[in-house]
Amino acid sequence: MTVTAIEHRIHAQRHAPKRVQGGLLDPKMLWQALPDALRKLDPRTLWRNPVMFIVELGAVWSTILTALNPSWFAWLIVVWLWLTVVFANLAEAVAEGRGKAQADSLRRTRTATVARRLIESGVEEEVAASLLREGDIVVVEAGQTIPGDGDVIEGIASVDESAITGESAPVIRESGGDRSAVTGGTTVLSDRLVVRITQRQGESFIDRMIALVEGANRQKTPNEIALNILLASLTIIFVFAVATLQPLAIYSKANNPGVPDSLALNGDGISGIAMVALLVCLIPTTIGALLSAIGIAGMDRLVQRNVLAMSGRAVEAAGDVNTLLLDKTGTITLGNRQAAAFVPLPGVSAETLADAAQLASLADETPEGRSIVVFAKQHFGLRARTSGELDDAHWVEFSATTRMSGVDIGEHRVRKGAASAVVEWVRSEGGTVPTQLGDLVDSISAAGGTPLVVAHVVTDDTDPKAAEVLGVIHLKDVVKQGMRERFDEMRRMGIRTVMITGDNPLTAKAIADEAGVDDFLAEATPEDKMALIRKEQAGGKLVAMTGDGTNDAPALAQADVGVAMNTGTSAAKEAGNMVDLDSDPTKLIEIVEIGKQLLITRGALTTFSIANDIAKYFAIIPALFVSLFPGLDLLNVMRLHSPQSAILSAVIFNAIVIVALIPLALRGVRYTPGGASKLLSRNLYVYGLGGIIAPFVGIKLIDLIVQLFPGM
């Protein structure tokens, strides 16, 4: 590694995005968010939140009434009404501020990069990275910064992506595979890459990351819009309900002239201050204040796990997922299948099979191919071939099309690969397939292994021979530890898991049974994945899947939640609605849990908000009408000190509870897997019953404090 490369790496690590530290109600964070909260008092901004917009109108009206007829009680009500609006804005500002802190870190990673662009003649020209266009070809060498998002079309190199992922360990990027995508702003640490730019102007990955974590492009999800409509409807209902109390109060007072005037009820009916206080305490201000913060915090929790959601809709959909499609290799299993045994056919020695298997695997650069070479060397003492032995060799590299690899050395031809492919080759070379081969292949597959058949042709001019099957290589794939428990959790959540693999059905079934998935799709092609997703969606289910290759792009686009790996191709990242910066396929399980946590948090706080209004009825209604209807004193179960202290205590509690619930809105309600009925019962018990009890306790405590002041 060059000195320049090391310096670039140190610089990137120093400026990599840091996790936002501090508590959820860190005073420094609250202070930083306060200016944004005050700016949100602008009615042109606040009208998007109907509930808090009504509260602000009430605060303005109360301010005017108090200025015309001032009193300590009226001014205290006005102050707490304005604080209610500020606290609501503060919840959203704190949630946005956490994202802006991460966006500022990302902005610091962007520098004025000079690109080495290749023109048609193959000559390089230096241009500013900002002038690159989609389709341009650039060269990046060790120590240089990749000028834009693109795909590697030539070369292999170690790349430092700490500026994006926060991880200091370098990754390998190479052409022609599913690890060809590179991101602008990352640094090449070794070797040389030729990159085709795929980004459009102003739409780089870092630009999109900044916009997403800032929340600038956050659109309300369908459930959030529906809940906003419900809250607006409840607010309108309570506006009319409170308005009808005024003529009722005037009529009742006129028919009871002996009742003395009070601060809340006089000859002109209910005072304007008392009406505003009643309205603010009755409408669902708590959830109205926290709803936006809950949505922003849901996306922020994904960002903390290095997952970027392209929209809030994707996060919400993750919480409603019914079917989870998971690749076997690298997700359910460790991914690198290893040679475990050489099983020769009758009449063939193990040494002969091992020699042929090693020779056929020398051109196979896959992890499986390399493991066969190592296994033959370790267990059979096979030496490495000298260059002289292989001078005339014609290598047959492994490909997904042929599903074989091998070598031709003169008249000696060796092949190793999938059973069906090698059997077809043997027959094409005039050979016959032993009946024992089928049983051997099936037994390895049934045990969860992957069988690779080895065959060869040895001939000369005087003794021509047909192809001969030598035996089978047993590749073993290991299921990751704890996967069965994770899938059991998914099942308790009501999610059906489906394993997708290119293995044959017997191997797929063995792995599926060991891992504990509900179903599997064997020998899957891109078309098969699409068909499965559409079938599930046609049944009214939401589907989530992961992918990293160009062939996964159609399925990622079709899925309701498509999680693309950051190491994957640009096509996959464009098709998905989430990108996992860590490129960990098992992250999909966490994403589903975060989505469910978002939905549960929203439901829990909505339940709490509506439930705690009940206590406010018992505080304010008796205070307003007890002088007119003495029987209402029975509703004063909290035995509040006076009508003034009752109204003021309810308004103060209504404001304070918003601040108290900000940490819960940002952190989310703890999610534990379980059925819908169990979750509903817990929600009603904890947040329904708790929402009724908490205001009784809170308002009473505030009343005890308020009555200490004269005139209350």
The catalytic residues are: 327
Beta carbons within 10 angstroms of residue 306's beta carbon: 20
Nearest to 424 by CA among 401, 394, 447, 445: 401
178 marked ligand binding residue: no
400 marked ligand binding residue: yes
Q: Which element (helix H / strand E) includes 449?
A: strand 449-457
CA distance 616 to 632: 14
Beta bridge partners of 324: 497, 544
399 marked ligand binding residue: yes
Paired sense of beta strands 323-327 and 496-500, if any: parallel
Q: Residues 670, 671, 675, CA angle at the centre, nearest 5°?
A: 145
Q: Any idea which residue has 């206080």 for tokens?
A: 277
CA distance 565 to 173: 13
User: What single-letter DSSP state applies at residue 274?
Assistant: H
Beta-carbon contacts of residue 524 (< 8 Å; ≥ 6 apart): 500, 501, 502
Q: Which pair of tokens denotes residue 378?
A: 């370790």
349 marked ligand binding residue: no
Q: Any idea which residue has 């990137």 for tokens?
A: 12
Q: Which pair of tokens denotes residue 517?
A: 């998935």
490 marked ligand binding residue: no
145 marked ligand binding residue: no
96 marked ligand binding residue: no
Paired sense of beta strands 543-547 and 323-327, if any: parallel
552 marked ligand binding residue: yes
364 marked ligand binding residue: yes
Task: Return the percent helix, strand and coil in the chain, to nearest 5.
Answer: 50, 15, 30
Q: Which pair of tokens denotes residue 579?
A: 């990108």
- E-strand ranges in 112-241 read 114-118, 124-128, 137-141, 150-154, 156-160, 171-174, 181-182, 187-188, 192-197
Cβ atoms 181, 569 nearer than 8 A: yes
Q: Residues 504, 398, 180, CA angle at the centre, nearest 5°?
A: 95
Paired sense of beta strands 561-565 and 578-580, if any: parallel
CA distance 589 to 612: 34
Q: Which element (helix H / strand E) includes 382?
A: none
User: What value does the CA radius of gyration of the chain take, rounded to a whole number of Å?
Assistant: 34
Beta carbons within 10 angstroms of residue 437's beta carbon: 20
Paired sense of beta strands 468-476 and 265-266, if any: unpaired
CA distance 182 to 198: 10
Binding residues, as ranges, are: 364, 368, 398-405, 416, 548, 552
Residues annotated within the binding site for Mg(2+) are 548, 552
Annotated binding residues for ATP, written as ranges, equal 364, 368, 398-405, 416
